[in-house]
Structure 1
Amino acid sequence: MKKFIAAIILILLGSAACASEPAKNFCGATDNMLSADYWIEHTKRARQTILTLEETAALSRKIKDTPGTHCTDILAYPAILPRSLILQKMKSFSTRPQGRRYIGAAEAGEGFWRRVEENADTGAVKETEMIRFGVAVKNGLIKTLPCEEPLYSGADDILFDMNVESAVKIWEPLAVLHESADGEYFFVESPCCAGWIKKDGVALTDKKTLKELAARDFYVVTGSRVTTDIRTSEPEAGRREFFMGTKLPAADGAVSVGGVSTAFSRGVLVPERGVNGSLRAVAERIPLGAELSHGYLPYTQANVIRQAFKMLGERYGWGGTYGSRDCSAFIRDIYLTFGIELPRNSLQQALTPAERTDAAKLTAAEREKLLAGSPAGTLVQMPGHIMLYLGTIKGKPYIIHSVYALAPSDAGGADGVTVLNCVAVTDMEMRRRNGSRIIDNIANINIIR
């Protein structure tokens, strides 16, 4: 009888233990893991400064000076370039790609490609070109080719436009190298990529003005996105939207902007395109309640986590389409708030000259051990994707990332794949379409310090 009662007690205790264990969703995360505070509480030295402002600036310079990162210091860009160098830069942006491309359900035909190549107009590049400079006056897209048609690698694969290189933020400086034959596009280099941008999204200026603007007191957008008010005088213009990481020059003190007092707001400068395409900076106000930092945020693990969770659940957007972020833009925007200018693409981010470990030949157990000793915010890269490490709970590493589709750990291959299409917190047991786990695919682990 005593043995029977003891057995019953053990069963009840086991049931109580199971009941107290938080339930996990199919990504392996419990409800409490969906809070930044949870991960900060589980992070050692979470509020300790990792790099000072001087050190983050030095790291950004080092990234720009490292070949292969595709990061460019526009303020140090040459005033003149020879034709040969411009054509080299334009090579993959002026000719048809190797693989097939589809416009909707139909394959792009010879007539389309001829029109695009003619519009690139590489024959018009002079032996020596004077480089023009400008800034983005609105959030937009930098295209691979000088055309508006979306180009898919598969018929009607509308979520993945191969004609998109990257998003560009308001105030991003640009070097203008060439103009399309139809006069609609500039071929530009931005701080993190090259490609074609619509001319109406660019205001031209000179390098001296760019340097003066860069030297001004500034604010950084720390929310996922913030907006201005609608101006009484221009209601049709709507609100301006600024994405995380946007650097906004501070405006000189004004008692009001657009008929609204600045006593409870921050005055910033925003760029506009004049009639002749030249830059003019106008004062705008952003309410004090908006998520803006006066200068860069301190680079701490706690701040990395908080910045990441501000985008939790936001939809995935390949290259910046749908006004959203893909995996590498998610990472880059977080680090921009600390003044660290990472490369645009996932592989280049993984190879950033920081504290990188080549994890390709490590076992899953070795990777897990390495991550367990790494700080929150460590970059974890596998072919075609990059993730942000959060921490290890009960021996299991967790990540936050902007991801399209994965399968839970107990599923196999494409049959179990679920479209997430958003920023998600997941374990690393989740599987790819081929059935392999995330942890089994890790190629690089990079601590940004």
Structure 2
Amino acid sequence: MKNLIPMTLLMISALSITISPVRAEQQKWGSDVMRVSQTQLQAEHWLEKLQGSEQVLMTGVQISSHNRAMVEHNRFISDPLLTHEVLSDKQLNGKIHLISKVPTSARYYIDGRKLTPNDYATYQDNMQFTPTEQGHKVEYGLIVKRAAMRTFPTDDRVLNSGMDADLDRFQESALFPGDAVAILTRSQDSQWALVQGFNYLAWTRVENVALASKEQVQTFTKAADFIVVTGAKVFTQYVPEQAAVSEQQLDMSVRLPLVTQNEVPNALYGQNPYANYVVWLPTRTTQGQLSLQKALIGRSQDVHLGYLPFTKANVITQGFKFLGERYGWGHDFNGRDCTGFVGEIYRSFGILMPRNSGDQGGTAYGIDHHFTKTTALADKLAAIEQLEVGDLLYIPGHVMLYLGEENGQPFVIHDVKGLAYFDDKNRLYKGTLNGVSVTPLLPLRLSVKNSYVDRLYNIKRIR
């Protein structure tokens, strides 16, 4: 980036961006000072700016090494298959309370009623287990459908005092079909399981998980020939009277083994499969056991044989596939939030990352450029000037992905709920984006006092 610091030192307090509908022929949103054009909402615009965009940034071997190091050294990444096969009462109790903590702040149901100690006691009673000196045997399985991960074993939507119905504070994350999990315990009503995924521990409905042996799970997840979902969402083909494999949603980063050619019949579910990928899809029997079934994914669907090469061009292309998707706190609303957004992009290259922004930005992996509360604004702007496409910018509670610069101004793509900036009269405007958006970085504010840049605490480059 060129000429960033002189321009921004003069303009950072006055820059504004207005995002509003316009006629197609206007081809822009915003003011003459700062705007987001329709052209800037196209991946091709940013791809044209790249030099060396096809250079592979990490090979498959390097990515595998990265993932092993994350499992070994980053406490927010796990291999579920390495979970202890038996947990003591104390260990299991510790796992439960690692996720299922009663919050210190007030919480409210959708109808406005404040949660009471009795409400929490109901959830806690459902998490009780029978103590045993023999310990609690851990089970293993595969996720069979998009699975909400919850703080407590309940579907109750719970809000904070702001009563923003978009932010269910019991919603933690989500797992996707084919994800391996360790099942640590079940709820008293047998409807929920406490599961450890690759980057999160939380409660999910039992119906989302198919039990399998550790060996079965390992064979599935380590298959050499597989496809990766590279679209925001793709679907298996429609199959009459076969709901388990019919029109099943698969989110970006889902990895499914390919059925070997000698196991592919000439006709499958009444369709010749030659124009499809035939994959093994995990399904759940009525007894809760794993049943791998053949499923068809049209070759027109946005999938890739093996992981995508990790290049700057692919980072941009993957990010724009989510453009406009509604923000979903903790993967709510069949979407994702800021960390889910970057996590699924990078996982389509095979790269594992922690779930939450503080865990991503606050732990050491890749190349980190940390800032303290006393770091001068000029020093942060100098670091921003050296950004490369795909770099991740962290402020408390949020992460953004760097796209490139335009007229000396850095632009990011991020999954963001709120929008605040100083308007052309230097008044703080507060609005909403509530989705995956392209924005300039410098005008964005958290408050009158603090801009995003003021609160920037880390820039992470995945290498």
- 1:391 CA drift (Å): 1.4
Q: Please name the residue that 1:323 is paired with.
A: 334
Task: Tell me, yes or no, if the aligned pair for 1:413 and 1:434 is still in contact at 8 Å.
Answer: no
Q: Please name the residue that 2:50 is paired with.
A: 43
- 1:98 CA drift (Å): 1.6
Q: Residues 163-182 of structure 1 correspond to what in structure 2 (within 5 A)?
A: 163-182=170-189
Q: Distance in 2 between matches of 1:403 and 1:99?
A: 23
Of 417-426 and 208-217, the range deviating more from structure 2: 208-217
Q: Does residue 359 of the first structure (1) align with residue 371 of the second (2)?
A: yes
Q: Distance in 2 between matches of 1:212 and 1:267?
A: 17
Name which of 231, 252, 255 aligns with 2:239.
231
Partner deviation per Cα, 1:15-55 (whole Å, 9 max, x = no partner): xxxxxx98553773222211112212222321111000000
Q: Does residue 185 of the first structure (1) align with residue 199 of the second (2)?
A: no
**Consecutive aligned runs of 4 or more in structure 1 exceeding 6 Å deviation:** 411-414
Paired positions, count = 428
Q: Does residue 78 of the first structure (1) align with residue 84 of the second (2)?
A: yes
Identity percentage of aligned residues: 28
- 1:184 CA drift (Å): 0.8
**Residue identity in the other structure for 2:366:** A
Q: Does residue 31 of the first structure (1) align with residue 55 of the second (2)?
A: no
**Residue identity in the other structure for 1:438:** Y
TM-score by length of structure 2 reads: 0.88
Q: Distance in 1 between matches of 2:359 and 2:259?
A: 35
Q: Distance in 2 between matches of 1:226 and 1:331?
A: 18
Q: Distance in 2 between matches of 1:248 and 1:236?
A: 15
Q: Does residue 403 of the first structure (1) align with residue 423 of the second (2)?
A: no
Give the 3 Å change call, closer, same or farther, for CA 368–278 of structure 1 in structure 2. Answer: same
**Residue identity in the other structure for 1:306:** T
Q: Distance in 2 between matches of 1:166 and 1:352?
A: 22
Q: Secondary structure at the match of 2:365?
A: coil
- 1:416 CA drift (Å): 0.8
- 1:354 CA drift (Å): 0.9
Q: Secondary structure at the match of 1:58?
A: helix
Give the 3 Å change call, closer, same or farther, for CA 231–126 of structure 1 in structure 2. Answer: farther
Partner deviation per Cα, 1:129-185 (whole Å, 9 max, x = no partner): 211001111102010001111111126421111111101111111101111111111
Q: Secondary structure at the match of 1:304?
A: helix
Task: Tell me, yes or no, if the aligned pair for 2:227 and 2:305 is still in contact at 8 Å.
Answer: yes
Q: Distance in 1 between matches of 2:281 and 2:245?
A: 14
Task: Tell me, yes or no, if the aligned pair for 1:142 and 1:164 is still in contact at 8 Å.
Answer: yes
Q: Secondary structure at the match of 2:333?
A: helix
- 1:415 CA drift (Å): 5.2
Q: Please name the residue that 2:154 is paired with.
A: 147
Q: Does residue 99 of the first structure (1) align with residue 99 of the second (2)?
A: no
Q: Does residue 213 of the first structure (1) align with residue 224 of the second (2)?
A: no
TM-score by length of structure 1 reads: 0.90
Q: Distance in 2 between matches of 1:90 and 1:432?
A: 37
- 1:76 CA drift (Å): 2.4
Q: Distance in 1 between matches of 2:148 and 2:243?
A: 25
Give the 3 Å change call, closer, same or farther, for CA 127–430 of structure 1 in structure 2. Answer: farther
Name which of 54, 62, 65 aligns with 2:61.
54
Q: Residues 2-401 of structure 1 correspond to what in structure 2 (within 5 A)?
A: 23-25=28-30, 28-68=35-75, 70-104=76-110, 105-124=112-131, 128-154=135-161, 156-216=163-223, 217-234=225-242, 239-253=247-261, 254=264, 255-350=266-361, 351-360=363-372, 361-401=374-414
Q: Distance in 1 between matches of 2:411 and 2:358?
A: 20
- 1:231 CA drift (Å): 0.7
Q: Distance in 2 between matches of 1:417 and 1:155?
A: 15
Q: Distance in 2 between matches of 1:111 and 1:336?
A: 41
**Residue identity in the other structure for 2:350:** G
**Residue identity in the other structure for 1:427:** P
Q: Distance in 2 between matches of 1:95 and 1:338?
A: 34
Q: Please name the residue that 2:19 is paired with.
A: none
Q: Distance in 1 between matches of 2:200 and 2:36?
A: 35
Give the 3 Å change call, closer, same or farther, for CA 202–126 of structure 1 in structure 2. Answer: farther
**Residue identity in the other structure for 2:30:** N
Give the 3 Å change call, closer, same or farther, for CA 109–411 of structure 1 in structure 2. Answer: farther
**Residue identity in the other structure for 2:103:** P
**Residue identity in the other structure for 1:39:** W
Q: Secondary structure at the match of 1:330?
A: helix
Task: Tell me, yes or no, if the aligned pair for 1:102 and 1:155 is still in contact at 8 Å.
Answer: no
Q: Distance in 2 between matches of 1:287 and 1:189?
A: 32
**Residue identity in the other structure for 1:444:** N
Q: Distance in 1 between matches of 2:64 and 2:443?
A: 36
